[in-house]
Structure 1
Amino acid sequence: MLSSAAAEKNATRESIGTGVDAPGFQAVVDEVRARRDEFDAKAHVPVDMIAKFKAVGIYRAATPQCFGGDALPPARFLHMIERISEADGSAGWVASFGSASVYLAALPKASLAKLYANGPDIVFAGGLFPIQPAEPVEGGGWKVNGTWKFASGCKGADVLGVGIGASGPGGKPRTALFPADQVEIVENWKVMGLKGTGSHDLRVKDGFISDDWTFIRGGEPSIDEPLYRYPTVAYAAQVLAVVNLGLARAALDEINRMSGGRTGATGAPKLADRAYFRIDAAKAEADLCSARAFFYEATEQVWQSILDGHPVTDEQVAQLRLAAVHVARVGASVVQRAYTLAGIAAIYDQNPLQRYLRDAMVVTQHAFLGDGMYDGAGAVMLGVPPIPGFL
């Protein structure tokens, strides 16, 4: 393990051009906002937008520094996804998978060197479930067949992962990593929210994958840098949950905009002149800010502990997962409350609260953000075994 001083030195050797203050980042956010209807209509974020995400560092944020990446501290990346999600939840969700390279760190180092041979900006997407059986091939490797669901961002990916039957310790799924052109995308993403994520099915027929292009999701990394000691699955939950922070902020900004410029359809006072509106808007703001503070405080505490050279504890993992599910649920509640406060104007298609509501509710349906995560966190807190896969 690196010494504390060495770990801190590596962790702060970041690209100064990566983050919410990076040159061009706000322009990308503005373009996302302007094009979000296009993303919904196409049911994916187009490759030219993915290229712009690459340009501001989204897809090198979790690439190891030894291969030219930034390996950003988690909070810094989460702030980027939160800001993109204010403009569009689907784009934020797709961009969030810039963190997925932490999974790839479980590949052999020689495989990673090949993967990043042409640069650190690799777009990885995957559909791990349902896990499909894979047939061992004499001499090593696997013959892969099957169909996998929910491959968010797959149409802009360079490499695609699928879950195969050879599982790792604790039942963690093994992932087979294919070049994108070796995997069929089954375009069937027809949903009510997060329409632009392009979370289509993946299909492989008689694909061969060698052992050195498979890895255990959340398995032991081959890279010794601070980011790869941060809890992998907890981070995966965080980058999805933070989408609802962005959507909730956008929803509160929208009712703020609406509050002073419109009288009711019946001639009632403007929204800002109604006591119930002011009270409920303030409560929603307080709830959102409180959940956000818990979320980032837990993130920063675990990160600093890693930099100080301490191993991550079960209690720290539980706090991260609790903060993630909590912020996802609070964010969705804030969006719903904003929608209700907006009154009859919110029912029209052109009102952005429609989009925010649909997208926020889909975020809460992800398996990483279900009620079982409260159960897992409570189990760790009370000293009993949590549900399988929680830690």
Structure 2
Amino acid sequence: MTTVQMRSAPADRTAVGELARSAAEHREHGERHGTLHPLVWAALEQSVLPRVALPAHCGGLEWPVQQILDAVRQVALADPAAGWVAAIHAPAGAFLARLDPDTARTLAGRSPVIAGSSMPAGTVVPHGDRVRLSGRWPLVTGAPAMTLAALAAPHTIDQGTVTRWWLVPREDLEVEEDWDALGLRGSASHTVVTCATSVPVAHSIALTDPPRTDTPLFRYPLYGLMAGCIAAVAQATAERALSAFATLAEGTRTRHTSGTLAQQGHVQGAFARASGRVSAAVALLETATARAWAAALEGEVPPGERALLRSACCQMAEAAEHACRDLFDAAGSAAIHRANGLESCWRDAVVISRHALVADRGRQLAGAFELTSTAAKDL
């Protein structure tokens, strides 16, 4: 195992702030065209986000986890679709910590932007120390910006069949621009295709394998890091909804009652319920993240902390969806207008909550440990 000294995280966050400002300015472009504005893609590629979880020996920054989550949330507050892209690209650099350092440096290149698909949709045909990889992988978020794709596919070896992620350069892939979803419209989560592409076996990883780089960031659970970034987008979306609702309620008068929405008792109750639900989920997420990071600073993160972390990420996604839906309902007919921003929060939150990392699988893994002390490798 290679031990690498962790670099200090940059004190200023100018690059992330510039990305957030660009994302906010061009948010409507994503809503209308299903992809971020070219200026936002450029800002993402030029920002620090693709390097925050990249190993230091690949030119990465190895930020503390909470700083990574805060950066993703900052972008998502500006535009959840851009935040979703950041949530995928930011933690993906950690994949390279599971490769031989020389191989990782070669694959990373000068400015890596890593995307991927966890659906084992491809086929692998062994060919010496290489394989021929073929398949169609849907939902590759941020495909327009990627330089490297991590694509899941089963690999049969003497010990049986395991799912490995195959790292394929962008030039060896075709992108089918087929993203057309309810929410997170600008994230360009397209399908990527490859046919009998030759990939060295050494360019593949199993996410459940231990990292080859022994620093706190890579001791932190990889699945927990990825789920945490998804949860950060959910948090930002819920906070956007609360803000949009407060503005809407203050200025909207109802037809059959006196006063504004903000003065109606049932509306006040709905807002308090949504706000409390989100605050509780945020508190749990912050606690679970801090405990897991503290453990990673000392050594291995215990299964109990991993389970709490996954549970907290799932809770955040669920709380955001419920809050956005309840606020949308409480606003009545005033919520249907796109200019209010409330309906887009509801759409985005619904899509966020369907991601596998924060949906049923994540809860099941946490519950399995809590009930049976069974710690799955992908906990």
Q: Please report the TM-score for the alignment, with normalisation by the length of structure 1.
A: 0.90
Question: Which residue among 76, 81, 99 is the counterpart of 2:72?
Answer: 81
Give the Cα–Cα distance (whole angstroms) in 2 for the partners of residues 171 and 336 of structure 1. 42
Superposed, which structure 2 residues align to 1:43-122 within 5 Å?
Answer: 43-97=34-88, 98-118=90-110, 121-122=111-112
Q: Identify which of 16, 22, 34 aligns with 1:25.
A: 16
Aligned sequence identity (%): 24
Shift of 1:250: 0.3
* Residue type of the alignment partner of 2:317: A
Relative to structure 1, is the Cα distance of residues 265 and 86 closer, same or farther in structure 2, using a 3 angstrom cutoff?
A: farther
- Matched with 1:16 is 11
- Decide whether aligned partners of structure 1 residues 112 and 133 sit closer, same or farther in structure 2, where only a CA change above 3 A counts: same
Superposed displacement of residue 181, structure 1: 1.5
178-187 vs 370-379, greater mean Cα deviation: 370-379
Q: What does residue 310 of structure 2 align with? A: 321
For 1:13, give the aligned amino acid: S
One-letter amino acid of the structure 1 residue matched with residue 372 of structure 2: G
Give yes or no for the alignment of 1:298 onto 2:277: no
Q: Which residue of 2 aligns with 1:42?
A: 33
Separation in 1 of the partners of 2:78 and 2:346? Answer: 14
Aligned pairs, number: 377
Larger CA deviation: 27-36 vs 205-214:
27-36
User: Residues 353, 177 of structure 1: CA spacing in aligned structure 2 closer, same or farther, 3 A cutoff?
Assistant: same
CA–CA distance in structure 2, aligned partners of residues 66 and 301 of structure 1: 27
TM-score by length of 2: 0.92
Greater displacement, 350-359 / 321-330: 350-359
1:196 is aligned with what amino acid?
G
Match of 2:183 among 167, 177, 193: 193
| Distance in 1, Cα, partners of 2:254 & 2:307 | 46
Amino acid of the residue matched to residue 305 of structure 2? Q
- The DSSP-based 3-state class of the residue aligned with 1:260 is helix
Write out per-residue CA displacement over residues 78-106 of structure 1, whole angstroms, 9 at most, x where no aligned residue.
11111221222211110112111112211
Q: Distance in 2 between matches of 1:375 and 1:15?
A: 37
Q: Distance in 1 between matches of 2:15 and 2:80?
A: 20
5+ residue gaps in structure 1?
none
Is 1:356 equivalent to 2:351 in the alignment?
no
Name the CA distance, whole Å, in 2 between partners of 1:338 and 1:171: 46
Partner SS, residue 118 of structure 2: strand
Kept in 1: contact 2:16–2:48 (CA 8 A): no
Residues 140-177 of structure 1 show CA distances to partners (whole Å, capped at 9, x for unaligned) of: 10011111111111111011122222169997521111
Partner of 1:246: 236
Give the conservation status (yes or no) of the 8 Å contact 1:135–1:143: yes
Deviates more, 1:26-35 or 1:310-319: 26-35
**1:210-225 to 2 correspondence within 5 Å?**
210-225=200-215
C-alpha contact 1:127 1:201 (8 A) present in aligned 2? no
**How many angstroms apart in 2 are the aligned matches of 1:165 and 1:80?**
33
Task: State whether structure 2 residue 115 is matched by structure 1 residue 125.
Answer: yes
Equivalent residue of 2:112, what SS?
A: coil
Which position in structure 1 is the counterpart of 2:249?
259
Cα distance in 1 between the residues matched to 2:314 and 2:336: 28
Q: Deviations over 1:349-386 (max 9, x none)?
A: 33311111111001111122223432321221123436
Identify which of 325, 342, 347 aligns with 1:336: 325
Runs of 5+ consecutive residues of structure 2 not aligned to the other structure: none
| C-alpha displacement of 1:46 | 4.3
* Distance of 1:206 and 1:114 partners within structure 2: 22
In structure 2, do the counterparts of structure 1 residues 371 and 113 end up closer, same or farther at CA, with 3 Å as the change threshold? closer
Contact 1:106 1:218 in 2 (8 A): no
1:209 paired with 2:204, answer no
What's the secondary structure of 2:198's corresponding residue?
A: strand
**CA deviation after TM superposition for structure 1 residue 219, in Å:** 2.2
Work out whether residues 103 and 217 of structure 1, in 8 Å CA contact, stay in contact via their aligned partners in 2: yes
Change (3 A) 1:370 1:389: farther
Name the CA distance, whole Å, in 2 between partners of 1:354 and 1:212: 46
AA at the equivalent of 1:221: P
Aligned match of 1:155: 144
Moved over 4 A (4+): 167-172
* Change over 3 Å in CA distance of 1:86–1:54 after alignment to 2: same
